[in-house]
């Protein structure tokens, strides 16, 4: 019978643990990035804070979040890419605003 062959704690769960750890890491990254993007939009558009101040505040929040959650260096590289993307988008807004 199959029930008698089962011994608690003897199954290799390495793959299941790796999948769970990946899910948690992806969820953490996704929720932090979404929080930073929405926070920037809310501060800049809804509240009316200058876009550069809002971008700076969200960058500081991302750094603090990375330190608190013990994120890897990839997180800080992602923050730099998000910061540069925000600056690029603002430069495009200025450029096309000057052409209009």
Q: Sorting pLDDT into bands at 50, 70 and 90, what band is 13? A: confident
Domain contains 52: yes
Domain contains 7: no
Question: How many domains does the structure of the chain reveal?
Answer: 1
Domain contains 78: yes
Domain contains 2: no
Domain contains 8: no
pTM: 0.78
Burial class (CB in 10 A: 0-12, 13-18, 19+), 69: exposed
Q: Would you state the structure tokens that stand for residue 40, as one six-digit string?
A: 């920037």
pLDDT in tens, 23-73: 999 999 999 999 999 999 999 999 999 999 999 999 999 999 999 999 999
Domain contains 1: no
Containing structural domain, residue 31: 13-99
- Contact criterion met (CB below 8 Å) for 78 and 33: yes
Q: What was the pLDDT predicted at 71?
A: 92
Q: Would you state the structure tokens that stand for residue 69, as one six-digit string?
A: 């959650």
Domain contains 88: yes
């Amino acid at each position: 019978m199959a029930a008698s062959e089962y011994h608690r704690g003897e199954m290799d769960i390495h793959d299941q643990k790796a999948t769970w750890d990946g899910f948690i890491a992806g969820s953490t990254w996704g929720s932090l990035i979404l929080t930073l993007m929405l926070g920037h939009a809310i501060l800049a558009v809804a509240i009316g804070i200058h876009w550069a101040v809002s971008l700076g505040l969200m960058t500081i929040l991302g750094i603090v979040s990375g330190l608190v959650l013990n994120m890897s260096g990839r997180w800080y590289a992602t923050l730099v890419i998000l910061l540069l993307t925000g600056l690029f988008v603002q430069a495009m807004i200025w450029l096309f605003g000057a052409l209009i």
